[in-house]
Amino acid sequence: MTLDFTSILPYAPLLATATLMTIFLAVTSQIIGTLCGFLLALARMSPLKILSVPAFLYIWIARGTPPLIHLFLIYFGLPTIGITLEPLPAAIIAFAITSAAYNAEVLRAGLQSIQPGQVEAARAVGMSYPTILWRIILPQAIQVVTPPYMSNFISHVKSTSLASVVTVRELLLTTTFIYSNTFRALEALIVAGAIYLFLTSFLAFGQLLLEHYLAFDKRPPSRRRLTRLGLGGDAASVPAAAPALVEGPAEEGRRVLEIAGLEKRFGATTALARVNLSVRAGEVVCVLGPSGSGKSTLLRCINLLERPDGGQIAIDAGSARFDLAFGPTARAVSGREMTRLRGHVGMVFQHFNLWPHKLAVENVTEGLLRVRRMAGPEAGRIAAGLLARVGLGGKLTAFPSQLSGGQRQRVAIARALAMRPDVMLFDEPTSALDPELVGEVLQVLEDVAASGMTMLVATHEMGFARRVADRVVFMDGGQIVEVASAEDFFERPQHERTIRFLEAVLK
């Protein structure tokens, strides 16, 4: 048997029209399916059962039934209740139903692949959830979902051939028409297969280009990216004056932070049990205690990353004051209040929580741009100055993956300081570092303390606490056991539990 494609040539215009119809059908239904899938993914991730359960049921049913059934139900089933659709809209809706279910799970996997700490870091500088979603989560999630999403899209293009059963003149129906007229079925199917291969190969090549574009840390940053921050092409050479960390001398005796009766429970476990503490302006308070004593929970409650179950938190930021009460009868703290409060309370995390898709300088400027609404060049100047101050003036254009642990933590400190907070919270800032990197971070903390910044530091570094702290707070079992000056705490501890702790850690 010899192949003869000459009989197919007269139908080339018809094949071209059918190819365009296939493209339109695939792209339109995929776009709708992607938008609906994104909403389904958010619903699946919601803590509200009224959203997550219906989303789960939709995905379960739509993925578990063939697309052909969806098509038949839309085209032949809806007319039984008085809704009649033309073949093309019916096919688009049916394919979008299937696409939405598959894309929802792909997109959910991408959204959940982002480390929660990155979201917490964005919340800590005052970003709203829509801003976090757009600026922090989606750029990284897109990189994760590109391979499976494009694989789904390629499969989706081929599935559009099912539209032929409702007489949509796409590629397969047109191919059937051609070989029924020419009796050259093999040739017609080879041509149709070649067209499908071309379309899917185009998508596969586009996937490779997109993956290369999204490999943000594999190539130097673009000039445009740096110019937006007023840094020009050679950011490393930009002169930057180190800005003052506090606006002026601290008001003597002013209580910046007051905590009364603070409580926090995780199920049956009490993390904080009626904690009382006050911190004066310019004071450095180190919180010590064994692991699980409540140090980190205390700091997270102050910044409202964890909602307390009871008690009060008052913050006097000079230009603003916050008096917050918690408990079953207390008024709920609004998202706007949380955002305003976090603008005055900076936080540095144990595991850095830098945003890996952003340069070191962008990690620092992001809060200034999105929360403070600062102009790009001004934000860039402040960020460059702060990074220079923490010893990273030559690392402005480095990605976090290109930095050591100590350097990453110094970027995180600069990011928090850039917001000009009235009080800084440090959650065990050296615990995740190799021993040889601890010193460089402690030196930065001492520099911050010397500037007059009000600091609350949860730490295991006894030497740092002895040198720098004005007061030491010792916690155990979610309670404050002892509060004393650094000298009294280490030289004349009063509580038996404090004595046993110091004997264990200072051996």
Across 78-103, average pLDDT: 96
Phi-psi label, residue 399: left if phi above 0, alpha if psi -120 to 50, beta otherwise: beta
Domain ranges of the chain: 6-215, 255-356+399-506
339-395 pLDDT, tens digit per residue, is 888 889 999 999 999 999 999 999 999 999 999 999 999 999 999 999 999 999 999
Task: Categorize the per-residue pLDDT at 91 as very low, low, confident or very high, splitting at 50, 70 and 90.
Answer: very high
Closest to 345 (Cα-Cα) out of 207, 201, 455: 455
- Residue 95: both structure tokens together: 């394919």
pLDDT given at position 240: 52
Question: What pTM value is reported for the model?
Answer: 0.88
Task: Categorize the per-residue pLDDT at 233 as very low, low, confident or very high, splitting at 50, 70 and 90.
Answer: low
Cα–Cα distances in angstroms (integers) from residue 201 to residues 18, 196, 204, in the given order: 18, 8, 5
Integer Cα distance of 469 and 451 in angstroms: 14
23-43 pLDDT, tens digit per residue, is 999 999 999 999 999 999 999
Residue 234 predicted with pLDDT over 80: no
Integer Cα distance of 136 and 194 in angstroms: 41
CATH 1.20.1050.90 fits 6-215, yes or no: no
Integer Cα distance of 304 and 307 in angstroms: 5
Task: Categorize the per-residue pLDDT at 220 as very low, low, confident or very high, splitting at 50, 70 and 90.
Answer: confident
CATH number of 255-356+399-506: 3.40.50.300
Residue position matching structure tokens 């059934």: 69
Helix (H, G, I), strand (E, B) or coil at 420: coil
Closest to 147 (Cα-Cα) out of 96, 212, 84, 195: 212
Indicate the burial class of 496 (C-beta count within 10 angstroms; 0-12, 13-18, 19 or more): exposed
Which percentage of the chain shows pLDDT scores above 70? 95
Across 121-130, average pLDDT: 92
pLDDT given at position 243: 64
Are the C-beta atoms of residues 59 and 101 closer than 8 Å to each other? yes
Task: Tell me if 6-215 shares its fold with 255-356+399-506.
Answer: no
- Residue 396: both structure tokens together: 């402005």
